[in-house]
Structure 1
Amino acid sequence: MVVLRTGNEPITARSPLRLRFWLSIWGLIWTSGGTAAFAAAGLPGWSIACAVLLLIVVVDLVMVIRHIRQGSRFQPGPDVPPYEPPAHR
């Protein structure tokens, strides 16, 4: 099996979405718990920091769920291929 590299793998790389989903759930649990615990302890600065992280985790979770629902064959448009074709030599 020959693996062809296009040289733009960071752009066309695919993320393990299920792993990102479960890591986002883990982050959701910890940041919501941290926000509640710091608020209960009377530490507003730490509570705000955890709330900002909670917002970032929620946005990431929404994007991961959106990408999972789009499926592995999602194309942004009919004229945009998922990968650039390799150059013929």
Structure 2
Amino acid sequence: MRTGSEPTTARSALRLRLWLSVWGLVWAVAGTVAFALVGRPGWAAACGALWLIVTVDLAVVLRHIRQGPHYQPGPDVPPYPPPEHDSR
């Protein structure tokens, strides 16, 4: 819910999230390969699952970066009123 107190220049840290995803991807791939080479299939599978999750997150972050900024109401748009509560 918009309260009207948000900063007008607030932005998501997508570039930071991108580089953290790349860092996680490197470690997940390295872990999968290393554990597979030393004969630890359980740990290799866990790193492989993490690899999949990081890859999906990386794709989502790249999609959001490519979409660019979205419409945000300006300072002249009043905040939404709080929802009405029933007093039952």
Same fold (TM over 0.5): yes
- The within-5 A match list for 1:33-44 is 33-44=30-41
Q: TM-score, normalised by structure 2?
A: 0.71
Q: Does 1 or 2 have the higher relative contact order (CA < 8 Å, sep 6+)?
A: 2
Q: Does 1:5 align with 2:5?
A: yes
Once superposed, what is the RMSD of the aligned Cα atoms? 2.6
AA at the equivalent of 2:64:
H
Q: Does 1:86 align with 2:83?
A: no
Structure 2 residue runs of 5 or longer lacking an equivalent are: 82-88
Aligned length: 73
- Structure ID, larger Rg: 2
Q: Counterpart in 1 of 2:45?
A: 48
Q: CA deviation at 1:85?
A: 4.3
Q: Counterpart in 1 of 2:68?
A: 71
Q: CA deviation at 1:72?
A: 1.2
* Paired-residue identity, %: 57
Q: Counterpart in 2 of 1:62?
A: 59
Q: CA deviation at 1:14?
A: 5.1
Over residues 47-73 of structure 1, what are the superposed CA-to-partner deviations in whole Å (9 max), with x where a residue is unaligned? Answer: 000000000000000000000000012
